[in-house]
Every structure is written in structure tokens, then in C-alpha cells.
A and B are shown apart, each in its own frame.
Chain A
Amino acid sequence: MIPAEFDYVAPDTLQEAIAARTAGGEDAKFLAGGHSLLPLMKLRLAAPTLLVDLRKVPGLSGVTRENGHWRIGAMTRHAVLQDSHELGAISTVAAGIADQQIRNRGTIGGSLAHGDPASDLTTAFLAYEGTLTATGPDGPREVAATEFFQDYLTTALAEDEVITEVRMPRLEGYGYGYEKFTRRAEDWAMVGVVALVKQADDGTCEDVRIAMTNMGSTPLRARAAEDALRGRPLDAGSIAEAAGHAADGTDPPADRNASEAYKRHLAQVMTRRALTSATK
């Protein structure tokens, strides 16, 4: 299986890349690590006419710390995040993506731009309430995670925009938990849950953020579960009770590994587990 034919450019600057993408029209695509796009192209589920490879564009990779945020270049590979243990949950989530070969090539920008509700980093991005910079012909703009995911494989990114940077708040004082339920280790999550919990001095839950993978057409926040836990003591009982609301209001798509009912059940179990690790 091989991709259909396409034209290819690898510009040296961001401006040239955006210009090439704009000139290429609606069937042009940016290429980062290629690990969302190339598999689809090989199966001929995607057939862009032009690929604009970002590999030569300077300044798109790396993790830096700034003003209470992590700035992550869009071309930063999963393996770099995996090895950046100071990133906490983001590092743990990245380490659980597919397999090492894929983590060595896939990038955070590519993953977010693809907007797959089954992908791991989208969920982490949502849980962190991160922001990203989308750069187009008119320059950069900021997009919040809450605005970014619009529908299945559909994001707020305009056709000729490229993600250049992702920012995650450092969330000092938060514990985290990540649970990914798969058939096999290398598979996509049937359901995944990222939980971030801040404990108040009195042991109650000061803040909690729960985001779920593959529970809808976009990554989702489990708001009902969050609301149920906020202000409550962080004990097994209230965690279990809150987790029981994880699937509230969701309409998860059934697939060959999990029916809707099973996914809703898994969301509760994984939320309970993720909250438990986040409060340890």
C-alpha cells in the first residue's frame, strides 16, 4: 500500500511554508511527523495533492519553561515529551502513545491538528486547558483548547493555518492520573482518561479537570464528574461517586472493540482509577 501521487515542497521558512500551502489550495496539507497523515494516505483514505513539509522550518521544536507555562514547539516529537519527565502528565501520556517507533516520529502539532478524539495528546491538551498558536497568512493567533476541537477530525484550524506552538499551564500543585484502556498495548484507547487534581489544605478537592479520549467526536471534559468532586473530600467514596458521572451526557461512538454501553462503563472505571492516582 502506497500513497497516491502528490507534489512536495520543504520550505526553509514558515512564511514560505504558509505561502506554499495557500497556493496549493484545499487539497494541500502540511506534513509534520506524518504519523497521522501518511497511514491514511497509504490506505488512500487521504490523497492530498501537495505536501508542505515543515521539517526545515526553524524554531518549531523543543520544550521551554516560561511564565507558568510549558511552551512546546509544534514539531516536538512524542519521544521528546516522553523523556521530558518534568512535564508530568503530558510526559506520561506521550509515553503511552502507540509504540516507540511512532513516538520517535509523531509530533504534538501533527497530532492536535489531526483532531482525532482517539488520540492521547488531544485529551491531555484539553485537560490542561492549553492554548496553541495557529499561524496563517495573516500571522499568528491564539486558540484555546476549549475552542479548538470542533467535530470528528475537525478543528478550529483554518485551511492555511499551521500550529506553531502549544502551551500548557504548569499547574503547580496538581496531581495527575492517566488511564488508557486498550485491547493491546499498542492500540488506540477504547477509552482514555486524564485527571488533574489540586488538593486544598483541608484535603478537599480545590480543582479538578478530567478529559476523556474516544468518548465522542472530539476529546471531552467530564464536567459532571468534575463538579461532583470539586469541594468534596478526596477519598475513595467521593472519587467513586464522581467517577460515576464520567459518562454523563456523552454519546460515545461504538466501534469493533467496544459498544457504547461498554465505553460509558469504561469511562467511569478509568476516571475512578485516574482520579485515584491523581490523589495519591
Chain B
Amino acid sequence: MSDEVAISVTVNGQVEHVRVEPRLLLVHLLRDELGLTGSHVGCDTSNCGACTVQLDGQSCKSCTVLAVQADGSEVKTIEGMGTEDDLHPLQEGFWAKHGLQCGYCTPGMIMAAADLLERTPNPTEEEIRHGLEGNLCRCTGYHNIVKAVQHAATAMQSAEVSA
């Protein structure tokens, strides 16, 4: 085996010091080493987006990032977005608008949508659809995912106004 590399990654605010094989994918670091199984793997070719997390504030496909590349970085996963008692507006939006069925793509979809709303706080339907083109869903036909993101955008905008 290739020599392990010592890295530190801040995951959902928690600093993690781990030694990893250079080829370890970030998604496997999160899932298998750190027990954060909310990020999923759905393909081999960086298409499906089920593994999407935020790396230093930007969405990325954690199946296409080596854990060693995340050394010194901050990672946010679905587990860092909100809990069932304190949902992130996007989580709330997906629930309120039936934006999920089997739920497998949902964490990645939410993390991609978070980047989208960061870049485009008040997106049109077309901007949402293009903003999520890196995430595949087989259940919803995306109809209610679009609604969920709109719901979240409105909630986040009004929260900002009142803040």
C-alpha cells in the first residue's frame, strides 16, 4: 500500500485528524472513516451528484475529490445542514414541497441547491433547473425539487429581510 498521508479536515465544524491512503476518495472518508453516511454514491463517473458536499463553501462531488485534496479545508455535509428539530430552509423546503421520494439523491440535491442559492439567491425556474444539472433524481421528475428550492429561496430571502 502507498504511504498514508496525515491530513486534517474540518467537517461540519469538527476538526478531524486522520491518516489516509492517498487514493481514498473524500466520500469514503466521510462515510467509512467519519461515519457520515448521508452523502451517497450513485455512479462512477461524476454524473449523479448524490455525493455532493460543500468544500470550503462550494459544492463538489466528493467522489471526485481525494481526501488528501481536502487537507486543511472545511467540509460541510447534509449532517451539518440542520437536524430534524432545526431544519435548514432547504430541508424544510424539500419536506414541505414533497421534493423527495426514495431520498437517495436528496442530500446531494440539497447541498447542490445550497450552492445555487448562494450564487443566485432569487433564482428563476430555469436557473434552478440548470443549477441542479449535476444531480440526478429518478423519482420526482424534478418538478417538486424545483418547488422545494423556490420555497427555500423565499424563506431565506424573507429571513434576510427581517434580520
Contact = CB atoms under 8 A, between A and B. Distances in A.
Interface of A: 1-8, 10, 31, 34-35, 38-39, 41-43, 51, 53, 55, 79, 98-102, 104-105, 184-186
**7 cross-chain pairs, A with B, having the tightest CB-CB distances, nearest first:** A99-B134, A8-B22, A1-B44, A104-B58, A185-B133, A3-B23, A186-B133
Contacts of A41: 23
Interface stretch (B62-70, B83-91, B97-105): B62-70
A43 B66 CA distance: 15
A130 B59 CA distance: 30
Interface stretch (B9-17, B46-54, B139-147, B155-163): B46-54
Contacts of A104: 55, 58-60, 115
B19 to A, nearest CB: 12
B134 A186 contact: yes
A186 B5 CA distance: 34
A5 B3 CA distance: 10
B50 to A, nearest CB: 11
B112 interface: yes
B66 A101 contact: no
A186 B22 contact: no
A5 B64 contact: no
Interface residues of B, number: 36
Contacts of B66: 8, 31, 34, 38, 51
A101 B44 contact: no
A4 B134 contact: no
Contacts of B64: 34-35, 38-39, 42, 102, 105
Contacts of B2: 5-8
A100 B22 contact: no
Nearest to B53: A101
A99 B23 contact: no
A43 B64 CA distance: 12
Given A34-B69, A53-B69, A6 B22 contact: yes
Interface of B: 1-3, 5, 21-23, 25, 28, 44-47, 49, 52, 55, 58-61, 63-66, 68-69, 71, 112, 115-116, 119, 130-131, 133-135
Given A7-B3, A8-B2, A185-B133, A2 B58 contact: no
B68 to A, nearest CB: 6
A102 B69 contact: no
Residue among A2, A79, A100 with the highest chain B CB neighbour number at 10 A: A100
Q: Which of B60, B71, B112 neighbours the largest number of chain A CB atoms within 10 Å of its CB?
A: B60
Contacts of B46: 35, 39, 101-102
7 contacts: A2-B28, A5-B23, A6-B23, A31-B69, A39-B46, A99-B134, A104-B55
Most chain B beta-carbon contacts within 10 A, residue among A34, A35, A104: A104
Contacts of B52: 101
A168 to B, nearest CB: 24
A186 B68 CA distance: 27
B134 A43 contact: no
Contacts of A35: 46, 64
A33 to B, nearest CB: 9
Given A7-B2, A34-B64, A34-B66, A99 B22 contact: no
Contacts of A99: 49, 133-135
Given A39-B45, A53-B69, A105-B65, A100 B25 contact: no
A106 to B, nearest CB: 9
B23 A100 contact: no
Nearest to A43: B44
